[in-house]
Amino acid sequence: MTTYSKRVEELLGKAGADEGDIVKVELKTGKTYEGLLMPRTGFGNKDCLILKLKNGYNIGILMDKIKSIEVIKKAEKRKATPSTKSRKKTGSRKLKKVSILHTGGTIASRVDYETGGVKALFTPEDLIDLFPEIENYAEISSRLIANALSENLRFEHYNIMIDAIVEEIKKGTDGIILTHGTDTMAYTASALAFAFENLPVPIILVGAQRSSDRPSSDAAINLIAAVQFITGTDFCDVGICMHATTSDDFCHILPACKTRKMHTSARYAFQAINSLPYAKVWPKEEKIEFLRDDYRRRSDVKDKLIVRKFNPAVKVGVLKAHPNMLPEEIMVFKGFDGLVIEGTGLGHIGIESFDEHSKENERVREALQEVINSGAVVVMTSQCLHGRVNMNVYSTGRKLVEMGVLGNLTDMLPEVAFIKLAWLLSNYPKERVKELWYENLRGEISHRTLQ
């Protein structure tokens, strides 16, 4: 345990404690803590002992405060898990093939009790060892295609995912699960939805709000529900599978282009906006209930798969409208290929002067017009999320339409608008982009507004 200080190592050696052991630490004050002995990361005070408590959280205990350490349970060496080929299948039914592609995120990790650290899981053996239930529903293949915090992903990474998915389709998979960090999972879902036309297999993105080393982890149920949904239905589109409530009762299958992360940490964070989930999945009961019948089915697959990737060089910006805007904020986007405005209300940004204090708004309007004239495709969305952009109601909106701002009468989420604009600009000339903006290509525009 070389990253701890010599004093801590001597104390641990005297107690016979090693990384991964369950230990009880008694403080000089008489208070005790019981937990998993963790390794040092190499950062911070090396005189600080790290324990992972039963609730999943780590605490640090300074050496000078420790009275004694007692080993409660020694770490067990895990036996090697047999490969999926050597495992005996029960029953004679032929299982569907499900490919699990990993891009990172907490769902593809667990505590390694030999070291006390969090270990990434990428092989079929690892996954089946942690989630043995999935082997009852599918023949699993699994591989790593990226290992990143999802906020760090770029358009190039979408293309890597697209290539990996095409490769699995060519191998004959019946469905694909993409594990993903939750921060930008909705962005990636919409990116994949736009990239594939005539998709022959379902693609389900799965994440976890709580890491697998916490008792409240949602990783297992989300993954099992996704496998059950792929193997038990005729769904053939891109979707997201995440917890529907705070409980471990059922998951939602959510539409790729109508879903947003609405909470920083809650397990039900992902919600369908201006739309309904496709289905509910109860993993324990092995029950699936569709909430909509307008989903794409395997029987709808008649034409050849068409793939259109992202151009990493395309420059698309996002601007949030707010009071007291400055023209300098707008001019940042001059020279960009596209700009998504998160407007207020029905789709507004302050461009009108009504007294001596609002003259700057005229300069904002001039700056926006200059960006449009420079060749940028500018589109309007709403910060309100629910409801529809309608720039016909007020004078501000009508002036924006006259200036060339697109998006009137649509209800695209800002994130989806960003992805759609980047994808269109990657594949079509700008005049065609302006036409396609109003077409509902992948379910991104609702036919009617839900209350």
Note the pLDDT of residue 47. 83
Reported as a pLDDT band with limits 50, 70 and 90, residue 3 is low
When mean pLDDT is compared across 71-75, 172-176, 266-270, 314-318, the lowest value belongs to 71-75
Range of the domain at 34: 6-73
Same-domain check for residues 117 and 219: yes
On whether residue 126 sits in a domain, the answer given is yes
Pair 153, 179 in one domain: yes
pLDDT at 80 (0 to 100): 41
Whether residues 323 and 291 share a domain: the answer is no
**Assigned domain for 41 exists:** yes
pLDDT tens sequence across 355-389 = 999 999 999 999 999 999 999 999 999 999 999 99
Look up residue 91 and give its DSSP letter.
S
**pLDDT exceeds cutoff 70 at 306:** yes
- Check pLDDT > 70 for residue 339: yes
Q: Averaged over 149-169, what is the pLDDT?
A: 96
Task: Please indicate, yes or no, whether residues 303 and 322 belong to a single structural domain of this protein.
Answer: no
Q: 84-88, 150-154, 390-394: which has the minimum mean pLDDT?
A: 84-88
pLDDT at 90: 45
Q: What is the mean pLDDT of the chain?
A: 88
Q: Where residue 431 sits, what CATH number does that domain have?
A: 3.40.50.40
pLDDT value for 382: 98
pLDDT higher than 90, residue 87: no
The pLDDT value given to residue 40: 60
181 and 154 co-located in one domain: yes
Let me know if residue 448 belongs to a domain: no
How does residue 254 score in pLDDT terms, banded at 50, 70 and 90?
Answer: very high
Q: What average pLDDT does the segment 297-307 reach?
A: 96
The mean per-residue pLDDT over the stretch 331-349 comes to 98
Domain-embedded: residue 1 = no
The predicted-structure confidence for 404-451, as pLDDT tens digits, reads as follows 999 999 999 999 999 999 999 999 999 999 999 999 999 999 988 765
Kindly state whether residue 197 falls inside one of the protein's structural domains.
Answer: yes
What pLDDT shows up at residue 1?
39
Q: Does residue 2 carry a pLDDT above 80?
A: no
Q: Is pLDDT of 350 > 80?
A: yes
Residue 442 lies in a domain: no
Question: In this predicted structure, what is the pLDDT of residue 113?
Answer: 46
- Does some domain include residue 244? yes
> Average pLDDT in the 328-335 region?
97
Question: Which residues have a catalytic role annotated?
Answer: 106, 182-183, 261
Q: What is the CATH number of the domain that holds 110?
A: 3.40.50.1170
Instruction: Reply yes or no on whether the pLDDT at 82 is more than 50.
Output: no
Type of residue at 69? I
Per-residue pLDDT at 144:
86
Same domain, 148 and 279: yes
Local confidence band at 272 (pLDDT 50, 70, 90 cut-offs): very high
Based on the fold, state whether residues 426 and 341 are members of the same structural domain. Answer: yes
pLDDT over 80 (residue 127) = no
- What is the per-residue pLDDT for 451? 57
Question: Does residue 113 share a domain with residue 35?
Answer: no
| For range 247-265, the mean pLDDT | 95
For residues 277 and 361, state if they share a domain. no
CATH number of the domain where residue 35 is located? 2.30.30.520
Mean pLDDT of 319-343: 98
User: What pLDDT score was predicted for residue 89?
Assistant: 47
* Judgement on whether residues 281 and 350 belong to the same structural domain of the protein: no
Same domain, 349 and 269: no
Query: pTM here?
Result: 0.81
Q: Which of 307, 329, 360 is the last residue of a domain?
A: 307
Supply φ then ψ for residue 373, to 5 degrees: -65, -25
Of residues 424 and 120, more confidently modeled? 424
How many structural domains does the chain have? 3
